[in-house]
């Protein structure tokens, strides 16, 4: 988490909401993180079932 | 194709921590693989194959070190070997933009994510990897250089070039959106 830089002036270029723009960075950089995070937040698809089953299975129990 | 699963995976108490850590990084591996390849199905195959490789090599992992960096390196190397084998890299999938448009409307930023995905796939592969590692995944330059197996100066240069490329491709659109937003309030 980035901290505010102190004096109340966020120093941002106006026009984009703060959640997609950190201080001094272009708006597309927030878009890149958002794209990435949108995949991170997806539930694992069904195709992962076999993998998860193998990893969940103690095997030698 | 997903390689054959090991016949049997033995779990020991020491393996349990590894297993949990590995499971926790799967969503990140998916995001990295999707960004690298631009192909959701191919990316998911890569992740599963990388996870099997990681599990098989778990004795080489030192507990308490960076599981995410370790598995990203495995996935990245696997991806490159797959590319060398299949030469899929040169074949930019025309379906990329369409797939990205299935994004929920409220997840869209002021920048259309489909535009970002298309721009990302237009980057040179080593720049795409660099900006995904540092700009999206949040690795330090040092970690990213280690994952990509290059000097840190090279990584910094790749990230800088990727950022310049993306800015060139995307900022025209953002400027237009900024103006529109200011007009509409």
Domain count, chain B: 2
Considering only alpha carbons, which residue of chain A is nearest residue B50? A51
* Rounded Cα distance, B184 and B43, in Å: 39
Contact B118, B160 (CB under 8 A): no
Is position B97 within any domain?
Answer: no
CA-closest candidate to residue B47, choices A59, A38, A29, A39: A39
Examine the fold and report which residue of B91, B122, B143 is the final residue of a domain before the chain moves on.
Answer: B91
Is position B50 within any domain?
Answer: yes
> Do B84 and B127 sit in the same domain of this protein?
no
Please list every residue in chain A whose beta carbon sits closer than 8 Å to the beta carbon of residue B4.
Answer: none
ipTM, interface predicted TM-score of the complex: 0.73
> Do B152 and B84 sit in the same domain of this protein?
no
Q: The pTM is what?
A: 0.72
Query: Would an 8 Å CB–CB cutoff place A52 in contact with chain B?
Result: yes
For position B154, which CATH number holds? Answer: 1.10.10.10
> Do B50 and B123 sit in the same domain of this protein?
no
Contact B171, B161 (CB under 8 A): no
Phi and psi at residue A6, to the nearest 5°:
115, -70
Specify the pLDDT at position B55: 92
**Inter-chain residue contact B19 with A33, CB threshold 8 Å:** no
Please list every residue in chain A whose beta carbon sits closer than 8 Å to the beta carbon of residue B107.
Answer: 34, 38
Contact A36, B132 (CB under 8 A): yes
Contact B111, A35 (CB under 8 A): no
**What Rg do the C-alpha atoms of chain A give, in angstroms?**
20
Tokens standing for residue B184: 């509409």
Q: Helices B13-37 and B67-86: crossing angle, nearest 10°?
A: 50
> Do B12 and B81 sit in the same domain of this protein?
yes
Cβ neighbours of residue B18 closer than 8 Å, sequence gap 6 or more: B55, B58, B61, B63
The CA distance from A6 to the nearest CA of chain B, in Å, is 24
> Do B78 and B115 sit in the same domain of this protein?
no
- The arithmetic mean of pLDDT across residues B74-94, rounded, is 75
Please list every residue in chain A whose beta carbon sits closer than 8 Å to the beta carbon of residue B116.
Answer: 28, 31-32, 35
> Do B82 and B118 sit in the same domain of this protein?
no
* Rounded Cα distance, B94 and B18, in Å: 38
**Inter-chain residue contact A59 with B8, CB threshold 8 Å:** yes
Quote the distance between the C-alpha of residue B51 and its chain's center: 14
> Do B12 and B83 sit in the same domain of this protein?
yes
> Do B58 and B131 sit in the same domain of this protein?
no
Chain segment B17-63, per-residue pLDDT in tens: 899 999 999 999 999 999 999 989 999 999 999 999 999 999 999 87
Contact B18, B59 (CB under 8 A): no
Give yes or no for residue A57 having a pLDDT over 60: yes
Examine the fold and report which residue of B57, B91, B125 is the final residue of a domain before the chain moves on.
Answer: B91
The CA distance from A21 to the nearest CA of chain B, in Å, is 10
Range of the structural domain that residue B153 is part of = 110-185
Higher-scoring residue by pLDDT: B142, A54? B142
* Rounded Cα distance, B125 and B43, in Å: 15
């Amino acid at each position: 988490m980035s901290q505010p830089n102190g004096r109340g002036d966020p120093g941002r270029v106006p026009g984009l909401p703060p959640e997609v723009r950190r201080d001094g960075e272009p708006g597309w950089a927030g878009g890149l993180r958002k794209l990435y995070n949108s995949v991170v937040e997806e539930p694992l698809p069904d195709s992962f079932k076999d993998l998860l089953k193998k990893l969940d299975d103690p095997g030698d129990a | 194709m997903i390689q054959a699963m090991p016949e049997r995976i033995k779990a020991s108490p020491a393996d349990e921590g590894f297993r949990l850590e590995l499971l926790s990084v799967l969503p990140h591996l998916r995001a990295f693989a999707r960004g690298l390849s631009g192909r959701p199905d191919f990316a998911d195959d890569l992740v599963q194959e990388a996870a099997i490789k990681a599990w098989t090599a778990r004795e080489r992992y030192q507990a308490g070190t960076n599981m995410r960096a370790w598995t990203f390196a495995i996935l990245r190397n696997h991806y490159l070997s797959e590319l060398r084998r299949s030469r899929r890299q040169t074949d930019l999938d025309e379906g990329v933009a369409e797939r990205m448009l299935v994004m929920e409307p409220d997840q869209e930023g002021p920048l259309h994510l489909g535009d970002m995905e298309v721009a990302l796939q237009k980057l040179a592969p080593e720049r795409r990897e660099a900006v995904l590692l540092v700009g999206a995944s949040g690795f330090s330059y040092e970690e990213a250089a280690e994952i990509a197996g290059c000097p840190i100066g090279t990584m910094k240069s790749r990230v800088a070039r990727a950022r310049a490329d993306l800015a060139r491709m995307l900022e025209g659109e953002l400027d237009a959106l900024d103006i529109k937003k200011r007009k509409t309030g």
